[in-house]
A and B are shown apart, each in its own frame.
With several copies, the nearest count.
Chain A
Amino acid sequence: MRIEPFTDTPLSILAYDGTPKENPDSLGLGKDDYLHMYRWLVFVRGVDDRGYILVRQGRAGFYAQIAGQEAAQVGSALPLLKDDWMYPDHRSQGSMLVKGLSAAEWFGHVLGRTLDPTQGRLMPHGPGRRDLHIVPPASTVGNKITEAVGTAMAQRIKKRKEITICYMGDGATSEGDFHVGMNFAAVYQAPALMFVQNNQYAISMRTDQQTRTKTIAEKARAYGMPGYFVDGNDVLAVYAVTKHCADRARSGNGPSLIEAYTYRYGPHSSADDDTRYRPKGELEMWRTQRDPVTRMRRFLELRGWWSEEQEQRLQAEIKAQLAAAMEEAEKSPPPAPLTVFDHVYETLTPHLAWERAELAAELGV
């Protein structure tokens, strides 16, 4: 696959049925790597399925599923190194898990327990972890883009060989912050990857209602930055493009925009009713003909590296792993009431100390 910006059709390696259009081994990957990738796809789908159940059980207030977008997330997170920084958005838990967040932490987050590295502070669409360089996303669409670029500028100022990846949706590209962030990234040649998961919807708004361009990738032209249009359901293609851009950024050649063209299976969130706006048959088509997990599995099968038996073993193994993770999360207590005052500032202000005392009196603690 020649990795070129501004193509009309998405860059891809695997056809929809998993047949390689060209030999992916040129990526420098071997059997173990492919199996590793596949495992991640299955794992993050498993985590997400389990997480979503918690809402349906009434044990969480909100959930935004990644189902359908696993390849975009796994493929873009795998090329990152330990010291690289990640700014996830509200639908990037797959990437966070690859970067090192544990399933138990994710469940703890969804349940709002202390196992959550962010201590139940946020609606469950993403914790962060300082040691992993994962910045906790806020709900607000788009406003992490300029920050991610600031981090990348800092990496450059400090002459580190690190990069920063920033996740966003197709909808986010309409916000002013997208423009401002893209422009700063280009002007300062910051080592940033602007990674757009174009799942074709921003809640109910189709991409063609969001913008008049055919692709998101071509928006990079407004910044003198390359923009890559890649099949987001092809984990190998996503990996290849992201790796390419990461290497470029790491060696001081500046930022890139990557558009991973994909599709979400679930409603926008647990609060959404997607039947109101999805055309009939569309979801089924994507699910049955373009599924990113199945596609990779077919590739492995074609190579003779994967059997039904191996699949079942993997599924069982992950199931057990996730059951244990869930148990760990459930055992974790919710945050204690008085912690509500912690971390507004590094130290409690007199006013907050007074409020804390009021609450302590109220609770008799």
Chain B
Amino acid sequence: MATVQTPPQTQLTMVQAIRSALLEEMERDQDVVILGEDIGVRGGVFLITEGLIDKFGPERVIDTPLAEAGIIGAAVGMALYGLRPIAEIQFIDFIFPGFDLLVTEAAKIRYRSAGQFGVPMVIRSPYGGGVRGGAYHSQSPEAYFVATPGLKVVVPSNPYDAKGLLIASIRDPDPVVFMEPKKIYRAVKSEVPAGPYEVPLGKAALVREGKHVSIITFGAMVQVALEAAGLLAADGVEAEILDLRTLQPYDTQAILTTVAKTGHVVLLQEAPRIGGYCAEIAAYIAEHAVEHLEGPIVRVAGWDTAFPYALEKVYMPNAQRVVRAVKKTLNF
């Protein structure tokens, strides 16, 4: 991890941390532009881009018509030209009208041009449940992006990482899908330095050390893992928590290390289980660390349904479910 440089630190929410990354990168580099629905005068529906249009004008803070294919497509065309566009998708559930531009174009142009063209762009978007958003304001579609070679996929779990990962994503030469856990947009604060810094892509963070079981997760679920670890500790079970931070490319070394240490694995995600991201981690472990496993790899995930509105609480993974999963693998 890049050394954190400078003194002026403040307690910021994730919204504030992300906004400060945008602001500082736009100040640093004229080629950084942002585009999306309602990001100008409205400041974005979560106010992440508040005030940026006043500072940088409508040519660099581009309010767009209501068309995700246009937002992503235009961003790709800008990136090919040499700008560094950051596209906002208002909720990640609405990325699908522009999905073709993402998987067919953004992800593959470097490859199909044999490296002549690159697509240095970021798509940032709030994802996930817990805000009474129902089926179309709650999804966690990371599995689609990860199954697409050419994309990088980043999910911060706290304000410090959010800023550093976003800056690293903006500076990255390849397209990055940056998924922001909206449930904790304002719920969690952390120390965030005032100047620019990078949290490198591809590196996981060990957010809790433990010796009995490894809980591997990311994004908003890190909070749930921490809560579970608290409950487990009361029972004498010390859980190690690995926050992947980057889902693609993921930190294989960190995964192997924790699995070798504990021998027990629980994987935790919000998305439905079948075909979800954690399947990849399970598969990786089953191929490369099977000799360390002392119990089944248990997945805790959203149920394999659409995301419900009234039954949201029943749907979302919670600490109790994680505890049960841990016991399942430990008592194997």
Contacts and interface: CB of A to CB of B under 8 A. Distances in A.
Instruction: State yes or no: do A and B come from one complex.
Output: yes
A183 interface: yes
Nearest to A273: B42
A178 B6 CA distance: 48
Interface string A270-291: 0110001100000000000000
Nearest to A348: B249
Interface string B294-309: 0000000001111011
Contact of B308 (A62, A271, A340): A340
B67 A175 contact: yes
Nearest to A136: B113
Interface string B65-102: 11111101111111111110100000001101100110
Contact of A117 (B77, B114, B135, B249): B114
Interface residues of A, number: 81
A210 B70 CA distance: 12
B73 A205 contact: no
B38 A205 contact: yes
B298 to A, nearest CB: 11
Contacts of A187: 65
B37 A203 contact: yes
Given A151-B81, A344-B149, A146 B315 contact: no
B178 to A, nearest CB: 16
A345 B110 contact: yes
Nearest to B106: A147
B304 A355 contact: yes
Contacts of A158: 81, 83
B311 A120 contact: yes
Contact of A343 (B62, B105, B114, B134): B114
A173 B74 CA distance: 18
A49 interface: no
A108 B131 CA distance: 20
Nearest to A160: B81
A135 interface: yes
B219 interface: no
B66 A143 contact: no
Contacts of B111: 121, 343-344
A339 to B, nearest CB: 7
Contact of A154 (B68, B82, B134, B308): B82
A337 B81 contact: no
B309 A123 contact: yes
B76 A150 contact: yes
A61 B137 CA distance: 12
A339 B115 CA distance: 11
Given A140-B93, A142-B97, A355-B304, A122 B134 contact: yes
Contact of A203 (B38, B73, B77, B311): B38
Interface string B28-47: 00000100011011110100
A183 B70 CA distance: 9
Given A130-B113, A146-B74, A343-B115, A123 B249 contact: no
B137 A123 contact: yes
A362 B105 contact: no
Given A119-B114, A157-B60, A172-B66, 20 more contacts: A61-B132, A61-B133, A61-B134, A112-B310, A140-B94, A143-B69, A145-B73, A146-B77, A150-B79, A151-B78, A157-B59, A171-B65, A176-B69, A204-B42, A337-B314, A340-B305, A343-B110, A343-B113, A346-B110, A351-B249
Interface of A: 61-62, 85, 112-113, 116-124, 128-130, 135-136, 138-155, 157-158, 164, 171-172, 174-177, 180-181, 183-184, 187-188, 202-205, 209-211, 271-272, 276-277, 334-335, 337, 339-346, 349-352, 355, 359, 362
23 contacts: A121-B310, A129-B116, A139-B137, A143-B104, A145-B73, A146-B76, A147-B77, A147-B101, A154-B77, A154-B78, A177-B97, A184-B73, A187-B65, A188-B62, A211-B65, A334-B310, A340-B303, A341-B303, A344-B305, A345-B150, A352-B303, A352-B304, A362-B324
Q: Sorted from nearest, which 6 A-B pairs have the closest CB atoms? A: A150-B77, A146-B73, A120-B310, A61-B132, A150-B74, A123-B134
Interface of B: 33, 37-38, 40-43, 45, 59-60, 62-70, 72-83, 85, 93-94, 96-97, 100-101, 104-105, 108-118, 131-137, 149-150, 152, 173-174, 202, 249, 252-253, 273-274, 303-306, 308-311, 314-315, 320-321, 324
